[in-house]
Structure 1
Amino acid sequence: MTTAALVLYVVALVVLFGVRSWVQYRRTGSTGFRGISGTPAQLEWWGGVLFVVAIVAGLAGPLLAVAGVTPIDPPTGLQVAGLVLALAGFAATLAAQTGMGASWRIGVDQAERTELVTTGAFAHARNPIFTALVAAQAGVVLMVPSWVSVAALIALVTAVQLQVRAAEEPYLLAIHGAEYAAYAVRTGRFVPGIGRLPESAAPKLLR
């Protein structure tokens, strides 16, 4: 199962970042990559760095297990559950990426304006891509329950929180103003109903 986890992770990286960027470039002339924004003195920079760390560690987990460096022996049922969760998570990530269309980006360019997507998966949560990625990594942890895979999950969750709260939400609020505020009031941050912007806070953030 560790080999399956490694193959699945590699394929997911190729599809979610490589193929998706190529498709984006063919459609828009841009790969969608905006890199790590900010400086080490800003939380958004740490969010970007930790995201890269999470991806590398996520790959290293199955790789080290296959090589026998971090031997594991979890119950088969746990590994099967992990495989199902990882497959579902990666598939949901791709579906949400596709749903963003031309607005899909990795990172934030403060000078760029894209259309606010509020349909499909985004009608239920503001950040379904990140939610799906975390679910997929959790599945990998069940398949390969090593300290490396767990560290990757922790780094990913931390990176997502920092990226969303310190970079993406302020950017979207600045670009889309009342439209994004209204969307955030009715839609959860990562899952439906949780992390919605209080109506009383919206006017203050728009000042």
Structure 2
Amino acid sequence: MTTTDPETALAWWALALFAVYLTLGFVLRSVLHYRATGDTGFRGISGPVGSPRWWAGVLFVLALLTGVLGPVAALAGMEPIGVFNDPDVQAAAAVAAVVGIVLTVLAQLGMGSAWRIGVREGERTALVTVGWFAVVRNPIFSAMALTGAGLAFMVPNLVSIAGLALLLIALQLQVRIVEEPYLRAQHGPAYTSYEQSVGRFVPFLGRRRRTRA
């Protein structure tokens, strides 16, 4: 079975949205952050090679690369997974991708000067708990997961789904292994209280349990 015209169009749209996503969420955001603060906010892959912190960064990079390769594989003739090969699913995925990109940008703006990609030991930034961060603790990552899912299901082949799986694993590692311990160390009781009242990725879910004295 050869790739049909609608599938080809969706693959090109997915590539275009990926380009917009990377440009707005990473390149332009870093440039604007540098102009405002003199710092790009980029901290890169950190931690000893092979450590959970290192893997979080590596998997995130691999997720982005694999995600881009999904539409490329579709254009090369890789067939979509049958159960997801439905026009309604793909249309909803396109909408989800666009919404996810918009929410990613808005959540990044909500962090202001505290925005970073990665963490640096000893660096202290403001604890942002208002706006989108009053709804969930990690709205940028939540929006990125939505974007990744939308882009993957626009061209739901094995490569795209693998990229989505890598992204979800990377986000979990980054939040649970890297950022939450870092923020507890930097902000102490203020962050602990925040964890207890606001969900991790979605409202109300993933809140830290209150411990009895």
Q: For 1:170-199, what per-residue CA distance to the aligned partner results, in whole angstroms no more than 9, with x for missing partners?
A: 100000001101111101111111111111
Q: 2:45 aligns with which of 36, 39, 44?
A: 36
Q: One-letter code of the match for 2:194?
A: Y
Partners in 2 of 1:50 and 1:158 — Cα distance? 8
Q: Distance in 1 between matches of 2:86 and 2:201?
A: 30
Matched residues in 1 for 2:61 and 2:153: separation? 21
What are the Cα deviations for residues 35-85 of structure 1, in whole angstroms up to 9, with x where unaligned?
11101342111011000000111111112212x242348322221111001
Q: How many corresponding residue pairs?
A: 201
Task: Report deviation, 1:13.
Answer: 0.5
Q: CA deviation at 1:24?
A: 0.2
Uncovered stretches (5+) of structure 2, i.e. residues with no partner = 1-9
Distance in 1 separating the partners of 2:101 and 2:188: 31
Q: In structure 2, what is the Cα distance between the partners aligned to 1:105 and 1:89?
A: 19
Q: 1:52 aligns with which of 35, 54, 61?
A: 61
Q: Structure 1 length as normaliser, TM-score? A: 0.93
Q: CA RMSD in A?
A: 1.3
Alignment pair present for 1:181 and 2:192: yes
Aligned to 2:124, the other structure's residue is in SS state: coil
Aligned residue in 2 for 1:130? 141
2:79 to 71, 74, 79: 71
For residues 91-142 of structure 1, the C-alpha deviation after alignment (integer angstroms, 9 at most, x for no partner) is 1111100100000000110121100000111001111111111111111122
- SS of residue in 2 equivalent to 1:174: helix
1:20 is displaced (CA, Å) by: 0.4
Mapped pair 1:159 → 2:170: yes
Q: How does 1:90-105 map to 2 (within 5 A)?
A: 90-105=101-116
Give the ranges of 4+ consecutive aligned residues of structure 1 lying more than 6 Å apart after TM superposition.
Answer: none
Task: Please give the TM-score of this superposition, normalised by the length of structure 2.
Answer: 0.91
Q: Distance in 1 between matches of 2:68 and 2:152?
A: 11
Q: Distance in 2 between matches of 1:36 and 1:111?
A: 16
For 1:15, which of 24, 27, 30 is the aligned residue?
A: 24
How is 1:77-116 mapped onto 2 (pairs within 5 angstroms)?
Answer: 77-116=88-127
Distance 1:69 1:45 in 2: 34
Instruction: Give the Cα separation in 2 of the matches to 1:148 and 1:120.
Output: 35
Q: Is 2:36 the partner of 1:27?
A: yes
Distance (whole Å) between structure 1 residues aligned to residue 175 and residue 197 of structure 2: 17
Match of 1:71, as an amino acid?
E
Opposite residue 79 of structure 2, the aligned amino acid is P
Aligned partners of 1:98, 1:63: CA distance in 2, in Å?
31
